[in-house]
Amino acid sequence: MQEIPILPQYNLILVRYDEMWLKSTRVKIRMLHVLMKNMKNMLNRAQIPFTKYQLSKDSSRIFFFFKNEFLDEAIQLFKKIFGIYSFSPTLRTSNNIKNISEKSIEIAEQVIKNNDTFALRVKRSGNHDYTSKDIAIKIGQDIIDHFSRSNISLKVNLTNPDKIIFIEVRDEFSYIFTDVIKTDWGGLPIESNKKIAVMDVGRLNDLLAGFLLMRRGAEIYPFLFDVSDDEKIFSQWLANWKLITGFIPSFKFTLTRIKLSEVLHEMMNLIEEKHFCASCRILRMKILSNLFSGKNNEGLKGIKAITDGMTFTKSTPCKDEVDLKTLSLNYLWSGSPIFTPNIGFDLKNLEETCFKISPDLTHIDFCSFKPRAQESSLEELVKILNSPTLDKIVTTCISKVEKINIM
């Protein structure tokens, strides 16, 4: 983990975003307020106190103010908030050049050593009687003069300096810092009006698909289709999802468990082995469709799409062509789109992304029903889809749905 120096002068975190700049002004402002609410909720849930937060006048920066002792915890949390592109622990002072110089020297004393080279990176927003270049020249010289009086040698190097001090002058305040911390995810803030169901049969692929839709601003609702009935396996499955809660801004996160083991044994007597995986997928889709449209769909209203962990790169136990054919049957029973965000990932991409989320995510050998060979005939699958027997199985599964709160 990168060590970020928390200087004693720092009293806030300056937050940047990037992708929201592409939105219209109205949409951007809405998303910024959602992002600030998500940040506030995650801080409150983690019991990290902050004193206040605000948006800059030009809406390009978000400022969260902390006592210095809580900055490190806040930094680790901000790395997991979707919508944040980068941030910096920062010192705020006035826009008076004398004050900027004094505080910049204080920061320089903390980070610059003898024989270091340094550079200033200055930005300015608002109306002032000086330019960014004026600040850089004046304060750069003040720093050199201050260190020379202590017999410390340093030089300016604008292209490849050992140390950089950043100064942003924004209207009546200035912000001074030494680090720009980029998050791994960026993306868009999670919004409650973007509800997506995650169809998870135990593969890390399925969890990852849901995670990547969160990165696009979706609020996810995981449906765990348990094909094993092994409580040890299920405990590990829950542990994987609990790791995801660190990225979620709400105070409650519910998993829906749907046990399939018993009904899949029943289906084995009704369906040819070669069609079993495709039929299982249809069963799961029909269960979700019935859940969303049923009378007892409290908490599921507003779910408009489903995400699935399929790929085209042979990184799952099931043949991809089977998934692709069954995917085409979606609109026979539902108007909901199916998103496949990791469809082009190879096994290395999947493993690296999962490790980036958390090195503690664990692969689960989830399915004992995998046939030796698989095929899919659209005609056969449509018959299975419309069979009264499958409808009965769907009804049985829905009657045994279990809600699990993990946060």
Average pLDDT, the chain: 89
From residue 305, give the alpha-carbon distance in Å to each of 197, 221, 226, 260. 6, 10, 21, 22
Per-residue pLDDT band for 286 (boundaries 50, 70, 90) equals confident
> Alpha carbon 241 to chain centroid distance?
13
Confidence label for 285 from pLDDT (cuts 50, 70 and 90): confident
Mean pLDDT of the region 48-70: 95
Percent of the chain's residues with pLDDT above 90 = 61
Show the tokens assigned to 393: 């199985």
Angle made by CA atoms 294, 396, 280, in degrees to the nearest 5: 95
The structure tokens listed for 388 are 């009264």
Q: In angstroms, what CA-CA distances link 113 with 97, 102, 121, 146, 148?
A: 24, 18, 19, 13, 12
Instruction: Give 2's pLDDT tier (boundaries 50, 70, 90).
Output: very low
- Alpha-carbon distance of 300 to 89, in angstroms, equals 39
* Statement: residue 59 has pLDDT above 70: yes
Under the banding of pLDDT at 50, 70 and 90, the label for residue 379 is confident
| CA neighbor of 225 nearest in space, from 194, 266, 197 | 197
pLDDT of residue 365: 73
The stretch 344-361 carries a mean pLDDT of 92
CATH topology of domain 195-405: Rossmann fold (3.40.50)
Q: Is the pTM of this model over 0.85?
A: yes
Q: Compute the Cα dihedral for 144, 147, 151, 155 and give only its sign.
A: negative
* pLDDT over 60 (residue 257): yes
* Confidence bin at 120 (pLDDT 50/70/90): very high
**Residue 290 pLDDT class (50, 70, 90 cuts):** confident
Least confident of 90-104, 195-209, 312-326, 340-354: 312-326
In the chain, where are the structural domains located?
12-182, 195-405
C-alpha to C-alpha distance for 74 and 302, rounded to whole angstroms: 32
Average pLDDT over residues 36-51: 96
Residue 376: the pLDDT is: 72
Q: What is the arithmetic mean of pLDDT over 156-179?
A: 95
* Number of neighbours of residue 389 by Cβ within 10 angstroms: 12
Distance CA 384, CA 374 (A): 16
Question: Predicted confidence band at 128 (pLDDT cuts at 50, 70, 90)?
Answer: very high
B/e letters for 337-357, b = 16+ CB within 10 Å, e = fewer, are ebbbbbbebeeeebbebbeeb
Class of domain 12-182 as given by CATH:
alpha beta
User: CB under 8 Å to 213, separation ≥6 — which residues?
Assistant: 196, 198, 220, 307, 339, 341
Which pLDDT does position 206 carry in this prediction?
Answer: 93
* The predicted structure's pLDDT at residue 131: 93
Q: What is the mean pLDDT of residues 236-259?
A: 94
Lowest mean pLDDT among 153-157, 183-187, 304-308, 311-315: 311-315
Q: Which H/E stretch holds residue 250?
A: none
Yes or no: say if 292 and 259 are a contact pair by the CB < 8 Å rule: no
Task: Give the pLDDT confidence of 186-199 residue by residue, as tens digits.
Answer: 999 999 989 999 99
